[in-house]
Amino acid sequence: MIYDKIETLSVDELRTMQSGRLCTLVQRLYRDVPFYKTAFEKKGIHPDDIKGIEDISKLPFTKKADLRDNYPYKMFAKPMNEISRIHASSGTTGKPTVVGYTQKDLDIFDEVVARSLVAAGARPGMKLHNAYGYGLFTGGLGMHGGATKLGMAVIPVSGGMTERQLTILQDFKPEVMCCTPSYAQTLSEEFAKRNIDTKNLAVQYAILGAEPWTEAIREQVEAGLNVTATNIYGLSEIIGPGVSQEDFEEKGTGSYVWEDHFFPEVVDKDTGAPLPYGQEGVLVFTTLTKEAFPLIRYWTNDICSIYYDKNAKRNYVKMSSIKGRSDDMLIIRGVNLFYTQVEEVIRNTDFAEPNYQLIVTREGTMDKVEVLVEVSQHIDHNNTDLQHQLKGKIKDSIGLSMDISLQAYGSIERSQGGKLKRIFDRRELGG
């Protein structure tokens, strides 16, 4: 099932649509947003130079620093009396990035989330257990609006209060749930602790996003909650959740990007040069239809690849799972390291859980990585043979020697509803 016939467009039809929308967008931003007029002029580009989507690489990038430099509303392309909603990032690394929506933007937001829900297995008449946070974070309200548009009954649980989540999942009988993957792990483990058989739950589909996750976590969540789990991707700067979505019948083959609204590119993280389909780099988006807060070539920092799948239901481009963020990438003794690489190694053991932390320190001039990883239930975390085994697997797979510290089952911090921190880089703290 698809949500809308627009998902059946051919690639040529998509390109024609994207070209028209891009040309309209650059004219409007040049006229209405001083930041973009200046950025175009610095690059020696005039909107009339953009004839179609094939010219997109001529345009300048937009980066998070630009949004913070124009805090809070200078990037808006519509006057405040046309703004219907404002969201913002947490601002944990500086000023928050502030985003605005007109009513048309909110309608688009609802549409792409509704598409995503259908791709994930949801249908009108089902109930959605929404465990994304409500508030300035886009997740809760974003999923809520799309589910309502689809014709679902939304249970607005929000994040946290795990005991209440377990009760509602049992008593309210939702068929679909959404939350971060790390919180889905937490819910799965809490049901197991109480000896509650999740096969008795009504929930069939879990839509997980807001942080990178791997097949190891998918396997754990699907087994623990007795669901089909798919990935939803988004970021507040682009719109929120619903930028792309994995189809529940095509798991593991990538997530469809709704490219009639969000045009994706992958570029070299060092040079910004566009990369061919299938090659890994930094994901960049241009918002083709947004009114209040449109962005050209927004540098997401997320590392992935994009490609077309000849066996897919739709002709839309797919993106791979996020390997990590370029600003989260660790360079350890000359080797690029993402924490998801370590998770993949852990997945291929039969004694460890995908609950772990990377502790990075520096001794003199030498970087050191310690992996704290939980063992499975009934496994002795003092088993040095298993410790050496995992150390060898990581060295063989990634090419780095890391210290391994096995932890007792249940001892590493779990998500309480939000994103879970995996990397603790203490090099700037002197160890």
Q: What is the pLDDT of residues 59-110, one digit of tens each?
A: 999 999 999 999 999 999 999 999 999 999 865 456 789 999 999 999 999 9
Residue 73, H or E segment: none
321 closest CA partner among 219, 427, 235, 232: 232
Rounded to an integer, the average pLDDT of 361-381 is: 87
Distance CA(142)–CA(108), nearest Å, equals: 11
* Residues 35/75, Cβ–Cβ less than 8 Å: yes
37 closest CA partner among 95, 77, 82: 77
Distance CA(302)–CA(299), nearest Å, equals: 8
The answer, yes or no, to whether residue 360 has pLDDT greater than 70, is: yes
Residue 136 in tokens: 């300035």
pTM of the shown model: 0.84
The answer, yes or no, to whether residue 423 has pLDDT greater than 60, is: yes
* Residues 240/139, Cβ–Cβ less than 8 Å: yes
Rounded to an integer, the average pLDDT of 350-375 is: 87
| Level-2 CATH architecture, domain 330-429 | 2-Layer Sandwich (3.30)
More confident residue, 339 or 105: 105
Residue 9, H or E segment: none
183 closest CA partner among 237, 136, 225, 123: 225
The answer, yes or no, to whether residue 362 has pLDDT greater than 90, is: no
* % the chain with pLDDT above 90: 79
Grouping H, G, I as helix, E, B as strand and the rest as coil, residue 351 is coil
Distance CA(122)–CA(144), nearest Å, equals: 13
* Residues 202/175, Cβ–Cβ less than 8 Å: yes
* Residues 250/121, Cβ–Cβ less than 8 Å: no
Q: Do domains 1-325 and 330-429 have the same CATH topology?
A: no
336: left (phi over 0), alpha (psi -120 to 50) or beta: beta
Distances in Å between the Cα of 267 and the Cα atoms of 17, 264, 288 are: 23, 10, 19
Q: Parallel, antiparallel, or unpaired for β 318-319 and 306-307?
A: antiparallel
Locate the domains of the chain by residue range: 1-325, 330-429
Tens-place pLDDT, residues 121-152: 999 999 999 999 999 999 999 999 999 999 99
Tens-place pLDDT, residues 160-213: 899 999 999 999 999 999 999 999 999 999 999 999 999 999 999 999 999 888
Tokens 């619903």, located at residue: 242
Distance CA(228)–CA(46), nearest Å, equals: 48
Tens-place pLDDT, residues 260-299: 999 999 999 999 999 999 999 999 999 999 999 999 999 9
User: Quick one: pLDDT at residue 274?
Assistant: 98
Distance CA(100)–CA(107), nearest Å, equals: 13
Model confidence at 311, in pLDDT bands (50, 70, 90)?
very high
Tens-place pLDDT, residues 377-400: 889 999 999 999 999 999 888 888
User: Quick one: pLDDT at residue 27?
Assistant: 98
User: Quick one: pLDDT at residue 327?
Assistant: 66
More confident residue, 353 or 105: 105
* Residues 199/223, Cβ–Cβ less than 8 Å: no
Q: Which residues contact 425 (CB under 8 A, 6 or more apart)?
A: 330, 360
User: Quick one: pLDDT at residue 50?
Assistant: 98
The domain 1-325 is classified under which CATH number: 3.40.50.12780, 3.40.50.300, 1.10.357.10, 3.40.190.10? 3.40.50.12780
**Alpha-helical runs (H) found in 360-408:** 384-398
User: Quick one: pLDDT at residue 363?
Assistant: 77
The answer, yes or no, to whether residue 307 has pLDDT greater than 90, is: yes
297: left (phi over 0), alpha (psi -120 to 50) or beta: left
The answer, yes or no, to whether residue 10 has pLDDT greater than 80, is: yes
Tens-place pLDDT, residues 12-40: 999 999 999 999 999 999 999 999 999 99
